[in-house]
Amino acid sequence: MIDVVAIVGPTASGKTALSLELANRLDGEIINGDSMQIYRDMSIGTAKIRPEEMAGIPHHLLDIKNPDEAFSVAEYQKLVRGKIEEIKSRNKLPIIVGGTGMYVQAVLFDYRFAETQLDEVLRGKLYEELEKFGPNHMHAKLLALDPETDIHPNNTRRVVRAIEILLSGEEKTDRTLALSPMYNEVIIGLDLPRELLYDRINKRVDAMMEAGLLEEVRALYTRGIQDVQSIQAIGYKEFYAYFDGKLELAEAISQLKQNSRRYAKRQFTYFKNKLPILWIDALKDPEKNFQEILAFMQEKERKRRIEKVDVQNKEQEI
């Protein structure tokens, strides 16, 4: 039996619609797989599903942190693995949905983390490392922890802060563990032509602006939410620059579209290099896609049963 399904893909590729279809037809519950949708009061800019769109399907790990709280991949891993077991105990199918590849990978594969606490000693060591080796070294360190980061190498304060947050769950050096699956999983990726994807992204930004994105970010800004993990998200940092007088509004919107397109490109690269994915055509008929996914799940389960019998036979021979 398949333990868990994950749906990944770049922003604006159609993950939400597919997740609802699968959850409805496979008796599933949905777990958030986006690192920014865990934050309250950050709904428009993160393209968070609205309650009226959930179609009665339970959604987990949305709005669990305040915008000024830190959150690490290690914490996410622990929470999601707990949710997977909870959902399975109800004889439901856990479905992880999101575009944060490292988070999904850390849950489904054997990523192990050390218990490192955020404290002044850690921060001091990081700044000593910065002084000794320079900004490029620290940015490379950040990329090793978070390949999807878009913090500029010259923004050393934010680079150090991001490393500090991520080191609350520091990956052990044995990276071969990350290739070992923790579950009998199926990972589905949505693919579509880049030009069409980029057009969707541009239109999504326009729709976000009409839905009140600027007001959503202004509310965070006026609350004094500054220099924290959440507002480094695409869709928020651009308008912080606008409120700080560093950009005109039109420039901020243009940067948001450009940053979103670049992020989508990085997402594709991460997914295709790091995860074993069944890629499906996002433009194909939904019923055909569902049948393709169902056939893949059935075939994977068939192979798993055969492998289990082979192992049992070998054990008996010994």
Domain end point (choices 171, 195, 210): 171
39 contacts: CB under 8 Å, gap ≥ 6: 46, 63, 65, 66, 67, 69, 71, 230
Same domain, yes or no, for 146 and 277? no
Residue 125 among known ligand-binding residues: no
Same domain, yes or no, for 218 and 83? yes
| Distance, CA of 257 to chain centre | 19
pLDDT at 255: 96
Same domain, yes or no, for 192 and 304? yes
Residues 3 and 185 sit within 8 Å (Cβ to Cβ): yes
Same domain, yes or no, for 146 and 117? yes
Closest CA to 32 of 87, 112, 89: 87
Number of domains in the chain: 2
Same domain, yes or no, for 118 and 210? no
Same domain, yes or no, for 101 and 206? yes
- The pTM for the full model equals 0.81
Is 205 buried (19+), middle (13-18) or exposed (0-12) by CB count in 10 A? buried
Residue 233 among known ligand-binding residues: no
Domain end point (choices 132, 150, 171): 171
Same domain, yes or no, for 304 and 190? yes
Same domain, yes or no, for 16 and 130? no
Residue 153 among known ligand-binding residues: no
Residue 12 among known ligand-binding residues: yes
Same domain, yes or no, for 106 and 237? yes
Residue 16 among known ligand-binding residues: yes
pLDDT at 152: 86
Query: What CATH number does the domain containing 252 carry?
Result: 3.40.50.300
Q: 86-89, long-range: CB within 8 Å, 24+ apart, which pairs?
A: 87/28, 87/29, 87/31, 87/60, 88/3
10 contacts: CB under 8 Å, gap ≥ 6: 99, 190, 197, 263, 264, 265, 267, 268
Residue 14 among known ligand-binding residues: yes
Q: How far apart are CA 238 and CA 257, in angstroms?
A: 10
Q: How many CB atoms lie within 10 A of CB 249?
A: 13
Domain that holds residue 117: 113-171
Residue 15 among known ligand-binding residues: yes
**pLDDT tens per residue, the chain (318 residues)?**
899 999 999 999 999 999 999 999 999 999 999 999 999 999 999 999 999 999 999 999 999 999 999 888 889 999 999 999 999 999 999 999 999 988 999 999 988 765 544 556 677 788 888 887 888 889 888 887 777 687 888 888 888 888 887 775 544 434 444 568 999 999 999 999 999 999 999 999 999 999 999 999 999 999 999 988 888 889 999 999 999 999 999 999 999 999 999 999 989 988 998 899 999 999 999 999 999 999 999 999 998 888 877 667 766 766
Same domain, yes or no, for 302 and 160? no
Closest CA to 67 of 103, 31, 35: 35
Classified as helix, coil or strand, 186 is strand
Query: What CATH number does the domain containing 120 carry?
Result: 1.10.20
Same domain, yes or no, for 141 and 263? no
Residue 269 among known ligand-binding residues: no
Domain end point (choices 132, 148, 171): 171
Same domain, yes or no, for 212 and 279? yes
pLDDT at 164: 80
